């Protein structure tokens, strides 16, 4: 099939949703065309075992938010905020952390900026465990400060982990191996999105025993796994990752639609 050049341009333009890849003219045009929803992912720069890059949670935010925006059809995506709150990974080189107070202030100021341009629905999407509590804390405060903007905070960490693990179960991977950090879940997602950054030759089974989130934040991840892994990344697959991105995007897009309609 031969596509006329102008048709190609049209396709590319229609698919542009990331504001850091758009010009201000394009953003103005999108707002005027009714794209009043913006998704703000909140990721991290932290160790993800011997096989995944430190930007893993940030990349997850980029791709999930982008897919959500495409499914919604009337939304744009802000650059993923990072670093995030990664105190429990500070025993590993390369991790950069913010205090919860700093992260909350950054989220607040990003929301003020976006609201001042006319966005009416701001969706906060943490994609790293340590960011959920600060996001849940600051979201109602911002909502009260920006009265005519809907601040939608997707801050149910359990829900996210369950969704990811449900997908992994379809591929024969159990809850423990799917894991909460650099395990089969996150590794699958990265194989689907940025395979070139995954060192599967170095992937090793991490801690798959019992622990609570409170213990993890208190003791730090190294107390559970010397290599910084919870789960078994060797069970990861690109297919599972592709499915996961789609399922998560669909799930969150529906949630956002409901929140806006209410």
Which residue minimizes CB distance to Zn ion?
A: 57
At residue 125, the 3 state secondary structure works out as: strand
Whose Cβ is closer to Zn ion: residue 54's or residue 66's? Answer: 54
Q: Which is nearer to Zn ion, 23 or 215 (CB)?
A: 215
The one among 27, 35, 49, 57 contacting Zn ion by CB under 5 A? 57
For the bound state, the minimum distance from the C-beta of residue 215 to Zn ion, rounded and expressed in Å, comes to 18
Counting DSSP H helices and E strands in the chain, the numbers are: 10, 4
Q: Smallest gap, in angstroms, from Cβ of residue 74 to Zn ion?
A: 29
> How far is residue 92's CA from residue 86's CA, in Å, rounded to a whole number?
11
Report the 10 Å Cβ neighbour count for 239. Answer: 13
The DSSP call for residue 123 is E
Q: Which stretch binds Zn ion (CB under 5 A): 5-13, 51-59, 107-115, 250-258?
A: 51-59
> Cβ 160 to Zn ion, closest distance in Å?
11
Choices 2-10, 25-33, 54-62, 95-103; region in contact with Zn ion by CB under 5 A: 54-62
Least Å distance, CB 55 to Zn ion, is 10
CB of 116 to Zn ion, least distance (A): 31
> Of 191, 165, 192, nearest to 176 (Cα)?
165
Output 35 or 82, the one with its CB closest to Zn ion: 82
Contacts (CB under 5 A) with Zn ion, residues 129-188: none
Q: 4 vs 158, which CB is nearer to Zn ion?
A: 158
- SS3 at position 152: strand
Q: How many residues bind Zn ion (CB under 5 A)?
A: 2
Residue span binding Zn ion (CB under 5 A) among the ranges 55-63, 96-104, 167-175, 233-241: 55-63
Give the separation between CA 106 and CA 90, rounded to whole angstroms: 21
Asked whether the bond before 83 is cis by omega within 30 degrees of 0, the reply is yes
**CA distances for 86 relative to 46, 83, 122, 185, angstroms:** 7, 8, 24, 19
Residue 86 or residue 121: which is nearer to Zn ion going by CB? 86
Which of these segments, 48-56, 118-126, 152-160, 227-235, binds Zn ion (CB under 5 A)?
A: 48-56
Tell me which residue of 145, 83, 133 sits closest to 108, measured CA to CA: 145
Q: Which is nearer to Zn ion, 122 or 229 (CB)?
A: 229
CB of 143 to Zn ion, least distance (A): 27
Nearer to Zn ion, 57 or 62 (CB): 57
The phi, psi pair for 154, rounded to 5°, reads -95, 80
Our CA angle for 209, 133, 248, nearest 5°, is: 70
Alpha-carbon Rg for the chain in angstroms: 19
Residue 120's alpha-carbon distances to 85, 113, 114, 150, 227, in angstroms, are 27, 12, 9, 6, 43
Stretch that binds Zn ion, among 16-24, 56-64, 172-180, 224-232 (CB under 5 A): 56-64
Binding site for Zn ion (CB under 5 A): 56-57
């Amino acid at each position: 099939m031969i596509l006329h050049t102008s048709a190609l341009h049209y396709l590319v333009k229609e698919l542009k949703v990331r504001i850091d890849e758009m010009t201000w003219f394009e953003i103005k045009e999108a707002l005027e065309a009714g794209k009043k929803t913006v998704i703000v992912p909140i990721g991290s720069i932290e160790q993800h075992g011997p096989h995944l890059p430190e930007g893993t949670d940030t990349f997850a935010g980029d791709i999930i938010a982008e897919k959500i925006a495409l499914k919604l059809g009337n939304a744009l995506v802000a650059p993923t905020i990072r670093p995030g709150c990664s105190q429990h990974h500070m025993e590993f080189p390369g991790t950069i952390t913010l205090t919860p107070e700093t992260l909350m202030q950054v989220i607040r100021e990003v929301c003020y900026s976006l609201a001042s341009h006319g966005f009416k629905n701001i969706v906060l999407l943490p994609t790293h465990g340590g960011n959920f509590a600060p996001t849940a804390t600051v979201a109602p405060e911002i909502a009260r400060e920006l009265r005519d903007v809907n601040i939608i905070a997707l801050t149910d960490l359990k829900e996210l982990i369950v969704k990811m693990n449900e997908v992994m179960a379809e591929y024969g991977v159990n809850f423990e191996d799917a894991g909460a950090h650099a395990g089969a879940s996150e590794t699958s997602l990265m194989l689907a999105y940025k395979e070139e950054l995954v060192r599967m030759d170095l992937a090793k089974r991490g801690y798959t025993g019992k622990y609570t989130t409170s213990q993890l934040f208190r003791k730090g991840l190294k107390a559970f796994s010397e290599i910084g892994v919870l789960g078994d990344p060797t069970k990861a697959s690109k297919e599972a990752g592709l499915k996961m991105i789609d399922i998560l995007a669909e799930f969150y897009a529906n949630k956002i639609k409901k929140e806006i309609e209410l």
